[in-house]
Amino acid sequence: MIYLQLFFEYFKIGLFAVGGGQATIPFLVDLSEKTGWYTLEELANMIAVSESTPGPIGVNMSTYVGYKIAGLFGSVVASMGLILPSLISILIIAIFLEKFKESKGVKKAFYGIRPASTGLIAAALFTLLRLCLVNEAAFSLSGNIADLFNIKYLIFFAAMMALMNVKKIKDLHPICFVAFAAIIGIIFKF
Amino acid sequence: MSELLNLFTSFAKIGALTFGGGPAMLPMLERELVQKRSWVSEEEILDYFAIGQCTPGIIAVNTATLVGQKRKGIIGGIVATLGIVFPSIVIIDIIAALLSNFASIAAVQNAFAGIRVCVCALVLNALFKLAKKSVKDVWTAVIFAATAVCTVVFDISPIVYVLVSAVLGILIKNFLAKPKAEKEGKK
């Protein structure tokens, strides 16, 4: 029964992949080798599609893999398998948290956790910035400092930062900026 | 019932409008949940992000479950979670069925290069707002900087940072915060 197997495999991934969609990729490589459901080239394409479509990347990938293997119903089964372990564990934590939220110990702990959480976001942003604004490969080839930075992207980044802090404009829904950026990307062939 | 519907549509909207996973979701969460609905505070977004780092599964899904549960109990958690995955399932199924070469279309690649730069700027803005709420004194500034630098430099699971900072939070509040206040008093 392919649906049951698909559900079970994804349930395992959902249970053991801690820390976001990117964390599921090593498990998907294993799954490809174990089951032969898709090749590594197909997986690379699925990752590319998942990263360039809206929504959580982990769910995008489970949907894609599920569809490849067992069609529409397969995609639903795989995604439900992926989210079920976190749904169960988070519901337990949420109920626990509700009870202890007002306790002094928990409040003190969160006083420490919040800046750490902000630090983790800053580190993730650093990785994001490095990936999209800096061209390390070209720099290591030529050694020319001008090749290190992608000037077009840097200017656009600075322009977007400025735009997002202009009165009235900054209250626009973030999707307006995203749509604008997509158009700029197409027009200026980013 | 209408509250459940609101949970579903809000999270479906977040799912449909978030490009790029992980921190890219923060600006949308902030907009929909903090500014528009006032369902949670900026501080709670940070708490949920930290919890999401330590628990199995995808952070976006974890956040949806936590917010949904807070609003409407277990059913709310389930409905919000289904909301955030719903657009993904629809969009990816359409692409998988019709456009398997989607990611290699030149216009798509150009658009996404532009979107990635924009997402960086959006996340940086969100980070400023979150830092204002969480970095309040010298201690929290040190925890923030140490976590950010160590995460970039070392390959240690985020769970370690969350647990260590929780212990630090308790220690600082119990032993250090008071002497510091006295010192400031003397000055």
Query: Would you place residue B179 in the very low, low, confident or very high pLDDT band (cuts 50, 70, 90)?
Result: low
H or E element: which one contains A84? helix A57-100
Interface probe with A: pick from B115, B122, B127, most Cβ of A within 10 Å: B115
Chain B nearest-CA distance from A20, in A, is 4
* pLDDT confidence of residue B112: 86
Hey, what are A127's tokens? Answer: 């990785």
Out of B46, B84, B112, the one facing A56 most closely (by C-beta) is: B84
- CA angle B44-B9-A99, nearest 5°? 35
Identify all chain A residues contacting B59, using CB atoms and an 8 Å cutoff.
Answer: 19-21, 56
Please check the confidence at residue B3 and state whether its pLDDT lies above 80: yes
Interface probe with A: pick from B134, B153, B178, most Cβ of A within 10 Å: B134
* pLDDT confidence of residue B178: 60
* pLDDT confidence of residue B177: 64
Threshold 0.90, pTM exceeds: no
Q: Tell me the C-alpha distance between A48 and A65, whole Å.
A: 13
Instruction: Please choose, from the candidates B120, B123, B133, B118, the residue with its C-alpha nearest in 3D space to the C-alpha of residue B40.
Output: B133
Please check the confidence at residue B90 and state whether its pLDDT lies above 70: yes
Higher pLDDT, A9 or B180: A9
* pLDDT confidence of residue B183: 47
Higher pLDDT, B182 or A183: A183
Residues of chain A with pLDDT under 50: none
Identify all chain A residues contacting B81, using CB atoms and an 8 Å cutoff.
Answer: 83, 87
- CA angle B106-B87-B9, nearest 5°? 135
* pLDDT confidence of residue B49: 86
ipTM of the complex: 0.84
Identify all chain A residues contacting B51, using CB atoms and an 8 Å cutoff.
Answer: 90, 93, 97
Check if the beta carbon of residue B18 is closer than 8 Å to that of residue B25.
yes
- The verdict on a CB contact (< 8 Å) between B159 and A121 is no
Hey, what are A81's tokens? Answer: 């398998």
Query: Would you place residue B99 in the very low, low, confident or very high pLDDT band (cuts 50, 70, 90)?
Result: confident
Please check the confidence at residue B81 and state whether its pLDDT lies above 50: yes
Is the C-alpha dihedral spanning B41, B46, B51, B57 positive or negative?
positive
* pLDDT confidence of residue B143: 95
Please check the confidence at residue B57 and state whether its pLDDT lies above 80: no
